[in-house]
Each structure stands twice: as structure tokens, then as C-alpha cells.
Structure 1
Amino acid sequence: MFAEQIKNGIIYGDQNFFVPPHLNIGAFVLEKILGHNDRVALINGETEEQITYREMVQNIVNIAAALTDLGIKIGDVVAIASENRLEYFVTSIAVFCCGGISTFFNNAYTKNELIHAVNISKPKFIFLSGEVFKKQYETLKSINIIQKFILYDDKPTSNDCLNYRDLSERHVDINSYKPIDFKGTNQTCMVLYTSGTTGSAKGAKVTHLNLIVACQQKLTVSSELTPLSIAPWSSTMGQLLTLQNIYDGTKLVFLPKYIERLYIKTIEKYKIGYLAIAPPIVVMLCKSTIVNEYDISSVKILLVGGAPTYTKTIRQVRSRFPHIKHVLQGYGITEASGAVCREMELAHKEGSVGQIVLGMIIKVVDPETNKIVGVGEPGEVRISGPTIFDGYIGKDKKDDFDEEGFYKTGDIAYYDKEGYFFIVDRIKEIIKYKAWQVAPSELEGLLLQHPAVKEAGVTGAPDILAGELPTAFVVKQPGFQVTKQEIIAYITEQVAPWKRLRGGVIFVDEIPKTPSGKILRRKLRALLPKQSPQNIPASKL
């Protein structure tokens, strides 16, 4: 009962979890997957390569022992810069086992983004795919921080390069290998980079305890359903959901990146049962013309995270794909090591992001007064518990945590009398039109219902008189014709006066997003013209 979970306005998730005395997430996962034996662990849906759990365990201990021999010590950072591939989690778990810290650079990083990330975490070694090596080796070398480059694909080209295969093929006895024992002391095991939707990315320090508890958070779906993953494994969503699947012994199909036809074809080929995706992919599926060429009736569950998914979109999914039994939402952030709330198959409510997960503690407060608010009252979500990260590299924790030790998420939400949470928007993304607040995500949800709109992003255009004017960036659906005024009128009919698109509509070829699917509003703001696209007299505002 929810009444038993809330005390003095603070909501407590289940606090019944196991913490091993060695406090090493690598050892924790290794112990579990040893029991998965010859079950298939991962399948690359593009190349059809696969690895069993038994093979995975052997490769993990081989790589871990090799890293120790090469000089990796407790606290040393090892980076991975690669597309999703079979070797990815073998590498990261091996780093955990030998006491190192794993960090992940997205293979699509620009030169400046990569330099920024390297300077945050300062990795000693880096594992690279051939694609990233060709594109970024000279940049990485010039930073003069990384000592060894370990190549997944290419043969070594210089003395500072090693080959992954040479390290993985050495044989280490599984039964005699011993991961580092931290003897009850909690250490950083991972550095994840915040999405940077409102500014430069920061390095979040995730601990062994964080991940040990996160692995025990019950997966949303039945274990007999095969999942398909396209989230970059450099992202929080990609890391945590995949690690949970590996811990549970699931057969996971993955793709290196999203390509519409390949994605849909892979669903048919492997009879995928559930999809963990960001809202833009949900919209694309609803509007896809390719999907009719394939049989995707095996899909029973959609797990959607990264941003709110609106009720109308969910209804569109159910209308077009009646075989989908559940469209479940979750709310998670990097700083919580994944999930904060999550819907379950037998516990979900339309429009919500679910109930509090294992280990989490939440309070909802008025961001101006810091006072706890009650049922149905929107406020800032603040979180505590064993999955909360240990702060950002090089930043004082007091800037991001309140006096009671709760992390200030910057997300506005409310909960109902049954403990279901509903996300409103982010504090930093709320548009301030005069004295009114406008949630960009609400307008985006409405825009996506228009048949001529393929993608949409909303931000505030600076205005001397009003503060900010809601402005829409729109990608047109191929084959449809629509004018800016038609879209403005469409929104005007559905919203209160202060939510109208007074900043106008700007047509673009694509909406800038993070790898996990969140809209980069700072990049939208950079696209705004110097003067508002729609100059409205003050008397009309």
C-alpha cells in the first residue's frame, strides 16, 4: 500500500536489497552470470554475431587479468569509444573486476566533445572500434593523457596500440580468478556524462553500490520476451538496461545504431518481444510507411523513457499495433544510476511514469520555498538512496544537493494518491511567458499529433516585453504540405492563450537530440533568428 511508503511527505521505495561485502559490481555480475551457462547473452542484429554467457565470463576474466598485467590499478580510468558491439560489456565488466573505472565516449562525438570528455575523466587506457580509431586517434593522441590504445578491429599501428583479440585469447582459469575486493568500502566504478541538454556535459561519478542496487531493480517485462536495444551503450539508458538484462540472463538483441528498415527487419527476424526506446522512435513507428512490409506482431511491450510520451501518442500506438499489450513509461536520470520510477506490466496507469523503484527515496518540493508538497501538487523531484551518484567530477556537491542530502533533479512532477508519478517538465526548460509557465514538452506532444509533422521541438525565443515566446521547430512529414500559419492555428485551437506559438514556427531538416533521444534545446535556441520570427505588437501579447 502506498500509504505505508510515505512518511512525512517523503516516499520510500523498497529498501530490501543485497549488498555483497566485496562491494565490486564486476564480481557481483560475474557471480550471477556464471549460472547462465551456455545461454545466448548478446546478438548483433546487423552482423548476426553472438556470444554466450559462458564465453562472456571467460572473455571478462581474460581481459581483466590482462588489464591488471598492463598496470591498471584501483581507481584508474579506462574508456570505451565504440558503437554497440559484443566486446563492449565484456570490456566494462572486466574493468570493474580489476578495480578500474569505466567511462564511455559516444562514437558520434565531435572533436571538441571528445576532448571535453577526455579532460573530465582522464582515462589511462582506451578501447576503440576501427571507425573511431580512424576518425579520432590523432585527436586523442594530441591530448597527451591516454597511455594505451586497445583496438577492437585493427592491428596495432604503433607502440602505444594493442589488439583486443590478443588480450581476450589468453586463457585465465575462471575458478581461480579473483576480482578486487573493496572490503566494504564504496568506490567509483563508472563515469557517465550528463546529456548536456542545457549546457556542457558533466562527468557523473557512479559507484559500485549504485550499480549493485540498480541491477536488483526488477525488470519491467517478462524474461521470456526477447528485447531489442538501440540505445547507445555510452548512454545511461543503454548502460543500465543492458547491465540489468545481462544480470538477469536475458538474450538481448542489439543494433549499433537506428536505421529504420534494419530496425523493423530485426524485430521480425528475431521475433522481438519488447522494445526499450525513446519517444521519438515511438512517433517514427506510428508514422512509418515501411513497417507494413514486415511482421512485427511479436512485439508485446514498449518501454519508453528519456522524455514524456503523451496519451494521444500511446493511443496511436495501440490503434496501429493492436498486438502491443502494454506501453510502459519510466523516468530515470544519470544521477540516479538509471531508474527513479518505472511502470510494470501489472502496475501501470496511462500518462504516468510509474511508481518508485527499489532503493529510491523521493520528495517533491516547491523549488522556491523548499517545502514538501502533497498529492497532486507539482514540484521539483528530489531524490536520495543507494543508487544516487557521488557527485560530478570537479564540482562541489553542495551545488546540486539540498541540505538533507537529496539530489535536486530540476524535474517538475507530481504524484497521485496511489503513488504514480507524472512528469510535467524540467525547471530549466520551462518557457516563461510573462507571468505564465509553458512546458515545451506539452506543445511538442500536440505538434506530433498533426499528420504533417514528423518531428518537433519547442523552446522560448527571448522577447523584451514578454520574457520568452514559445517557438516551434518542425520537421515536415514526407509527402505532406503545411504552412507555418496552419501549424500556429492548429496549436492555438488547443491551448490556453499563454501557450500559443507566439514565437512562430521554423521548419528544419532535423531536430537536434542527444544519443538517448532527448531534445537539445540549447541547440534549438542557437537556431533562433536574432529577431523573433513573428513580431507581435505589445498590445497583442
Structure 2
Amino acid sequence: MDDSKLTVRESSRIIKEKSLDYVPDPRGLGYEFYQAMFLNQNAVAQIDAESGCADSYGNLLERCIRTAIRLLVAGITKRDIICHCSSNHINSCVPIICAFFLGVPVAPVDPTLSYDEAFEILAQIRPRVIFVTPDVVDTIEMALGEINIECEIVLFGSSPDFVEFDSFLEPDEEESHFQPLEISDIRETAVIAFTKGQKDDYKGVCLSHYAIMMQCLNTISCCNFGNTFCLSNREPDKNVNGFETALSFNTFARIAEIELLCCCTFTGITKIINQKFDPTFAWRTIDKHEVSFMTCTSFQAIQLYKIGKPEGVVGTTLKMLLTQGTSLSKASLYELRKLLPYCFITNCYGLTETTGRVTMFAFTKPGDIRDQYENPTSCGKLVSGMTCKIVDPITEKILGPNQAGELRFKSDLMMNGYLKQDHSDLFDKDGWVKTGDVALYDDKHRFFVLNRLKDVFKCYSWHIAPVIIENVIKEHPAVKDAVVIGIFEDIKAWNQIPMAVVTLNRGMRNRVTGKDIQMWANSKLSKKQQLKAGVKIVKQIPITIAGEPKRQQVKDMVLCENL
């Protein structure tokens, strides 16, 4: 239905949060980064969690400038794309920042991708230069050779066969005169982030300078980042007692990590660099580096409470823990609160297509903190610049509070489009983005994302949302992770019954069986949610870059084994 023809009642069911009163600098992200790094040059930009090596904003700025000059000399232009496929280390952010300096789109790629996935993505990007770590260089070289394009491989490490990144850091007489290149339009694409589409193909989501800066300001405002804002067109706020150290475990292949890099740089706070997630090491890192803000997936958060705080760890510096992905169950959240009684623990919801957050609670608003404690499974309220509604996907009727349907939204923070692909099927006939997520909101406009629409299945006329069952199973002390799928009991009746596929914590494999977990879970689940197809124990559950299970791949594994 055309929005202009909505009734008063229908209009009241559309939730809107006005945009922040801020106009980003038209010169773009490169200018903002340069200014912030120059102003904070004596502050610590990042610390390697394992080695303890610290890096100032001044030193980081110097390396970014030298890399940018080297790329300009090599002939890089705004028509090219800079690619990045690296794990986390002190220099992994340099290609991202220097791409902003040059006004050239940067496309970070997940370093854990298979050859086929890397080939699919690189064939779309067709990059001019790619920065890689030694563990993925062979895969990248093979994929580029198959695509048959001229692309310079720059290696973070030593090798006689590739250009070494360290060679980019030689002093240059032009560096003292360097200035970021201005962009012609604030809506130009700055980042191309890859995500899995509905048909299990990879899509390059093109995100603008404008949207990234506005979403960063949303996060800075909600999460109490830093002691000053170093964004132009904004008065510095010298008296804010904000977070000073941030920790995450994502690579730059996730837009959330690029956003965190922006937030830390614009506010001059320290970012802790981690190679990979290890719960015991994460606990010790919080204490060692006095981490005040941390973001992780829901799966990682569960591992933190299951392993518990190591002896000697206090964790009192941590003031906010922001989880992403599926919401934590109440039981998991309460266990985390016991370990971190002075920390605000909350979940958020976002999409790559929206340049990050759609909903989150604000640490800076006492009302939001109260609302989160009242209903901890909520993923928050709309961030600034978002307009949402819940729709019955069959009738297209706009639903009211506490009615579950598909979440749809409109926003000026929307992506520019998919790289070299049509995105018209992403919208309904009235121009609303179809998220494919089942959600609802309550009377206080707190949102709850229940499941992916395509993951919900029918069991004896009941619609089953897998994530609700998964949250129960994950409470079992032996279970490390769980994914619930529907298995056809009678394909003629199109009826599926729930099955759980789980991984176990270390040392539990010979102490618990699938039957034990099934009986335990069924005692806590409603009759319609019972695991009638049983529980299967596996060594590993395949997950996406966002830390979510690859359900179709799990289902294929189970079906192939049953054949």
C-alpha cells in the first residue's frame, strides 16, 4: 500500500527515529581520518593484545601516508578498487585508511574463505591491488590467476615472490606535504562489504562515505566513546567521561569492524588488536589493557560465561558489552551479569545493507538501560535515521505491537546498491527494504528479532523459530554451540520436525550423548518445540563471517549422512 494512503491506525504502527542533527564533511572519510589522527597523534591508537606492542596515532598516520603515496605512484585511481584479505595485526588497518585518503573504494575480504568463495568474490571486485597475509596468499594467487586480471599482491610478511608491505613504508620526501584527496560526492562508495544473499551467493554491498560517518556518530553517541569528538562540523566535547579502550574479535571483512575503527579514530581511543577469539585470553585481555568497551558475537559471549573468569581476573573496567547476531537467552545474559555486575550487557541488530546498526540500546540514556534490564532479550530501539514497520509477509498488512512479522525499513543510511548486481528485489512495491527477518516490537518500541524468515519451518501446523530452541540448548553445560534445523518427517504433508546439531565443550565428548541432550532440552521446551528428530553431535558447525550458522550447509551435511 502507498504510504500516503495509510490510515491513521496504520501510520501509528510505523516507528520512526529522526536523523542526528549533523552534516558530514563533504570531503569524506579520508579527510575526517586525517584530521582525527593528526589531532590525536600522541595518543595510543592500537595495542597488539598478544605482544603488548603499542602504536600511536602519529606513527599509524605516517604509515598510512607512505602507503597512500606508494599507491599513487603505482597509478591507482578512483576507478580502481583496493582489496584487503587479512587477519588482525598492527598494520591490517593501514590499507583501509589509505583507501579513504585516496577516495578509492576498499573491499575487505574474509581471510577464512575457501578457494571457491574467494574466486566468486574476487571475480566481482577485479581489484587493482590486494593486501594479504601469508596464510591466504596461495589461495588469493590461484583465484586471481583463474580470473586472469592484473592485480598486485602486497604481502604482510616476507617473501621473494611478492611485494612486501614493509617496502611501502620507506620515507618519501612528499609525505610532509600529503593531503587526503577530496571526493566529489559524499554519497560515493567508500567500502564494499560482502555478504551472503538469499540464494547463497555473495553480494558486494556498496556503502557510502555519508552512511558510514552517520552510523559511526550513532554508535559514538549511544556507546559513550572517547573523551572528545574529532569530527569536523562538530564542536569538541571536552568534558565527556567516555570509554577509552575498545576490544573486538572481527576482521575488517565485517562492516562492524570498520565502523569500530572509525569510532576509535574519531574519538581518539585505543583499539585492542586480536588475531582470534579465545575466551580465556579475552578475559585476561580485559584486565591487562583495562578494556572499557567490548563487542563480540552472541556465541563468543556464551563462551565467556561458560569458561568463567580465570583466577585473578576482575573485569571491573568493562562498562559495556555489545553482542551481535542472535540475541542471548535470558539465562545466558543473567550468567554474564553475575560475572560482570558493573557492565551494561546488551544485544544489537544490524544489516550490512544499512551500513551497520538498525537497533540498539544507548548506554548514554538511563531510560534505555532500564528498558534493557526490564526485557533483556530485546535488541534495542531504532537508531537515528531509521524508519521501520512489521508486516505480515502474506497479506502485507502492517502489524501492531507484540505481533510478529517481517521487519521492513526505510533509511537514508541505506547502501548505494550491490556491486554489479541488481537489488530491486530487495524492496517491496512501496520502496521498503525487506529484511527477511521475523521480528516484533513492544509498547515501548523495543525490538525483538526472532529468526530469519527462511529459517522458520512448519511442524504440525506450528511455525518453529529455530533460534528460540537453540537458546535453550546452549544452556546445557556440555554444549558449546547449537543449530536447529527442520527434517522432513512426511514430505507429502510438507511437515518438518526439529533436529538439533551441536558441538560440545572440551572433555565432554565421552561424558554426554545426543540422547542425553535431547531429553534435557525437551524437559524445558514446549510440546510443539520438542526435538523429535533428535540431537546430532558434530565436531564443528560451519558459520558465516557474522558468527551465524550456515543452516543449509548443516542440513546438507545431515541429509547426506542419512542417505
Query: Could you tell me the TM-score, scaled by structure 1's length?
Result: 0.90
Indicate yes or no: 2:135 matched with 1:131. Answer: yes
Query: Which residue number corresponds to residue 187 of structure 2?
Result: 186
* CA shift digits 1:160-216 (9 cap, x unpaired): x43322323334667743333333352212111114687232211112222121221
Give me the identity figure in percent: 24
Indicate yes or no: 2:436 matched with 1:427. Answer: no
Query: Which residue number corresponds to residue 539 of structure 1?
Result: none
**Matches of 2:385 and 2:73 in 1, distance apart?**
36
- Select 1:246's aligned residue among 265, 268, 273: 265
Asked if the contact 1:458/1:472 (under 8 Å) is kept, the reply is yes
**Matches of 2:303 and 2:429 in 1, distance apart?**
43
Comparing 101-110 and 178-187, the one that deviates more = 178-187
What is the CA distance between 1:134 and its match in structure 2? 4.8
Compared CA separation, residues 113 and 424, structure 1 to 2 (3 A): same
Compared CA separation, residues 518 and 231, structure 1 to 2 (3 A): same
**Matches of 2:484 and 2:77 in 1, distance apart?**
46
**Matches of 2:149 and 2:519 in 1, distance apart?**
55
What is the CA distance between 1:409 and its match in structure 2? 0.9
- Select 1:37's aligned residue among 23, 28, 41: 41
**Matches of 2:268 and 2:309 in 1, distance apart?**
32
**Matches of 2:140 and 2:114 in 1, distance apart?**
9
The count of aligned residue pairs is 524
Compared CA separation, residues 218 and 191, structure 1 to 2 (3 A): closer
Comparing 370-379 and 134-143, the one that deviates more = 134-143
Compared CA separation, residues 108 and 236, structure 1 to 2 (3 A): same
Three-state SS of the structure 1 residue aligned to 2:135 is: helix
Compared CA separation, residues 173 and 51, structure 1 to 2 (3 A): farther
* CA shift digits 1:277-334 (9 cap, x unpaired): 1111111111116734644343332111122111111011122x04442111111111
What is the CA distance between 1:8 and its match in structure 2? 4.3
* CA shift digits 1:223-251 (9 cap, x unpaired): 33422121122122222223222222211
CA RMSD of aligned residues (A): 2.4
Query: Which residue number corresponds to residue 501 of structure 1?
Result: 531
Asked if the contact 1:42/1:52 (under 8 Å) is kept, the reply is yes
* CA shift digits 1:502-531 (9 cap, x unpaired): 221101112221233111112211221358
Query: Which residue number corresponds to residue 3 of structure 1?
Result: none
**Matches of 1:218 and 1:478 in 2, distance apart?**
36
Query: Which residue number corresponds to residue 52 of structure 1?
Result: 56
- Select 1:269's aligned residue among 264, 267, 288: 288
Compared CA separation, residues 390 and 375, structure 1 to 2 (3 A): same
Q: How does 1:282-431 map to 2 (within 5 A)?
A: 282-288=301-307, 291-292=310-311, 294-319=313-338, 321-345=339-363, 346=366, 347-348=368-369, 349=372, 350-431=376-457
* CA shift digits 1:433-464 (9 cap, x unpaired): 24221111101100011222222111112331
Indicate yes or no: 2:539 matched with 1:520. Answer: no
Comparing 140-149 and 291-300, the one that deviates more = 291-300
* CA shift digits 1:252-290 (9 cap, x unpaired): 112011133433332232122232111111111111167
- Select 1:61's aligned residue among 62, 65, 79: 65
Compared CA separation, residues 409 and 75, structure 1 to 2 (3 A): farther
Structure 1 gaps of 5+ residues are 1-5, 534-541
Comparing 517-526 and 479-488, the one that deviates more = 479-488
Query: Which residue number corresponds to residue 499 of structure 2?
Result: 471
- Select 2:223's aligned residue among 179, 198, 221: 221
Q: Which amino acid aligns with 2:188?
A: Q
What is the CA distance between 1:386 and its match in structure 2? 2.3
Three-state SS of the structure 2 residue aligned to 1:202 is: strand
**Matches of 1:374 and 1:89 in 2, distance apart?**
44
**Matches of 2:334 and 2:199 in 1, distance apart?**
31
Asked if the contact 2:206/2:417 (under 8 Å) is kept, the reply is yes
Compared CA separation, residues 391 and 47, structure 1 to 2 (3 A): same
Query: Could you tell me the TM-score, scaled by structure 2's length?
Result: 0.87
**Matches of 1:229 and 1:383 in 2, distance apart?**
28
Comparing 339-348 and 24-33, the one that deviates more = 24-33
Asked if the contact 1:457/1:519 (under 8 Å) is kept, the reply is yes
* CA shift digits 1:360-411 (9 cap, x unpaired): 2222222122232222222211122222112222332211112333221111
- Select 1:101's aligned residue among 101, 105, 112: 105
**Matches of 2:139 and 2:400 in 1, distance apart?**
52
